[in-house]
Amino acid sequence: MEQASNNPSSSDSACPPPPTYAGALSFMRRRYTRDLAGVDVAIVGVPFDAAVSNRSGARFGPQAIRRASAILDGDPQYPFHADPFAALNVVDWGDVAWDYAKPWAAHDCIHAQVGDVLASGAKVFALGGDHSVTFPLLEAAAALHGPLAIVHFDAHQDTWGEAGAAGPGHWTDHGAFVRRGVEAGVIDPHRSIQIGIRTHAPRDCGLEIVWGWEIETSGIRAAIERIYARVGEAKAYLTFDIDCLDPAFAPGTGTPVAGGLTSREALVILRDLGRLDFVGGDVVEVAPAYDHADVTAIAGAAVVQTWLGLEAEKRRRG
């Protein structure tokens, strides 16, 4: 699946690049390819939403985020004031595939295909999809790095379900990936932290929680300091459920909860996490059918852009 870049070749250099509303809508206009030689980061779509408990539609999240990201390419990236692609070789790998008539097999397909990408040496940032897809993504990453600290932005703890429930007949839905990850040993709960939580679950599985109201009462700086104190030097994975944001900033999601972070608050926190050792990440639960003017998709694209900016900044620093 190799497609040419949207950038003009030397033979047609008189032609300008396409405007933001035209051309192939890969993530930030990166080259579509499955040739991973020399690639630093692969953007991978995971259009799966068969495990939601409320509104479906996140299967269209990867398309929406790619479309919204087109406006981000071509300028020095805020707030880094630099082109991340001058330091990082980033490609759009396309989407993970499975038999849509066998949704129970999707997680195994995600694990296997993303594992192949990671085996190339590239990091993966995934575009979901509902939050259940984070479990096989973590399985693939932990196979290389061992148990991971997760930095988890969400309105929900995602620790629901019967303890020990796994295997055939026990569905890993979008509210269970943390519990499954801790039980499977792919999440290190003692190094993991959740930000923006605005619901109560039966258990916390040992993760630290920064409640949604604490962002208002204690401030952004306190949240950042708690993230660093918790994660330390551990290998970390970012998982960003877009419903961490208040519905005013992310209406296009399946389980919106009032009282959330603004997009600015979330991006400011993320911008200051450059000292963490991220091995990958995802943004999930963008459901564009409930969106207005691509508000939610734009926020999702900005999360990925900011994470790429952090990775490029590390590379520039050597």
Domain 10-316, CATH among 3.40.800.10, 3.40.50.300, 3.40.640.10, 3.40.50.720: 3.40.800.10
Residue-wise pLDDT for 211-220, tens only, equals 999 999 999 9
In this predicted structure, which of 55-59, 61-65, 71-75, 105-109 has the lowest mean pLDDT?
A: 71-75
- The domain locations on the chain are 10-316
Whole-number percent of the chain with pLDDT over 90? 76
The pLDDT confidence band at residue 55, using thresholds 50, 70 and 90, is confident
For residue 304, pLDDT over 60 is answered with: yes
Whole-number pLDDT of residue 40: 98
If you average pLDDT over every residue of the chain, what do you get? 91
Q: 3-state SS of the chain?
A: CCCCCCCCCHHHCCCCCCCCCCCCCCHHHCCECCCCCCCCEEEEEECCCCCCCCCCCHHHHHHHHHHHHHHHCCCCECCCCECHHHCCCEEEEEECCCCCCCHHHHHHHHHHHHHHHHHCCCEEEEEECCHHHHHHHHHHHHHHHCCEEEEEECCCCCCCCCCCCCCCCCCCCCCCHHHHHHHHCCECHHHCEEEEECCCCCCCCCCEEEEHHHHHHHCHHHHHHHHHHHHCCCEEEEEEEHHHECCCCCCCCCCCCCCCECHHHHHHHHHCCCCCEEEEEEEECCCHHHCCCCHHHHHHHHHHHHHHHHHHHHHHCC
Binding site residues for Mn(2+), as ranges?
131, 154, 156, 158, 241, 243
